[in-house]
Amino acid sequence: MQDIYSMTGFGRSETVTDEYRVLVELRAVNHRYLDLSLRLPRRMNCFEARIRAICKEYMQRGKAELFVSFEDYTARGRVLKYNKEIAAEYVDYFRQMAEDFSIRNDIGTSVLSRCPDVLSMDEETGDEEWLFSVLEPVLRKALSSFIEARASEGGRLRSDLLLKLSGMEDLVGIIEEASPSVVDSYRDRLSAKIRETLSAASIQVDEQRILTETAIFADKICTDEEMVRLRSHIGAMRSKLTDGGACGRELDFIAQEMNREANTTLSKAGSLRIADTAIALKSEIEKIREQVQNIE
């Protein structure tokens, strides 16, 4: 039996060494398709396609957010740059200011170096394979943690759904048991009413007509087909849940078909007991539909 995965989950992994710190966090909620958004450090933007490919190995559906933090405690990948053109513009403006206000131009190297953008610390994009070799194991560990959380929640969903299916079978049994007595009760009431009406006029009761009317009524309120299909849908959903895997879409379709049969049963209800039971069925099916929305 395979695991069933909830689309709601959280995963986290962190690695800290003397040279760097890498943190990966992943959270997700239910969604019709896989919608993955990434928040990466600038140095790792080039890995977006590779990160997405790895994530797809672990999930098929869900709206997920992946956050990556990277701190490099060494000078690896960073370089100090001197922007000569910007420095020259500062020198020209300082000279112009001295002339405009008749003041001494005392600009020096230390002053000029503190001007914005004259000196800048940039990150080089080289050594990408080393950087990805640092990220990948942390990413996969976070994804594994994420999958464990989804599987744990999926197991709880499976148990709850199987319990609800058993309850639905009990409700189907009540309708099946109650249906014949509804027809018998209708025949008895119809016969008594006709006999009471015709006895006063000394007119003989047409037994065949009573049987015909009863048969028409029985056909009108018959829910045999609906109950057979409901039991079939319950069995199909139980089988999908037992087999496991990515079955969320199939479960949602089965739940829709269950709801269709419950609606038809309610419209045919020939007694208050059957109507109340059909309403209870619809309530359970709605709970099931809400639950399967969370299954991958």
Per-residue pLDDT 10s for the chain (296 aa) are 788 999 999 999 999 998 889 999 999 999 989 999 999 998 899 999 999 999 999 999 999 999 999 988 776 656 667 888 888 888 888 889 888 888 888 888 888 888 888 887 666 555 788 889 999 999 999 999 999 999 999 999 999 999 999 999 999 999 888 776 655 555 556 555 655 555 555 555 556 655 565 555 555 556 777 888 999 999 999 999 999 888 999 999 999 999 999 998 887 776 778 889 989 999 999 999 999 999 99
Residue ranges matching CATH 3.30.230 in the chain:
9-74+130-151
- Given a contact cutoff of 8 angstroms between Cβ atoms, the answer to whether 254 and 237 are in contact is yes
Tokens of 50: 């590779």
Query: Which residue shows structure tokens 């014949």?
Result: 180
pTM of the predicted model as reported, rounded to 2 decimal places: 0.69
What pLDDT does residue 141 have? 97
Helix, strand, coil shares, percent, the chain, to 5: 65, 15, 20
Tokens of 93: 């403006």
Query: Whole-angstrom Cα distance, residue 244 to residue 90?
Result: 68
What pLDDT does residue 59 have? 92
Query: Whole-angstrom Cα distance, residue 194 to residue 167?
Result: 41
CATH architecture of the domain 9-74+130-151 equals 2-Layer Sandwich (3.30)
What pLDDT does residue 192 have? 57
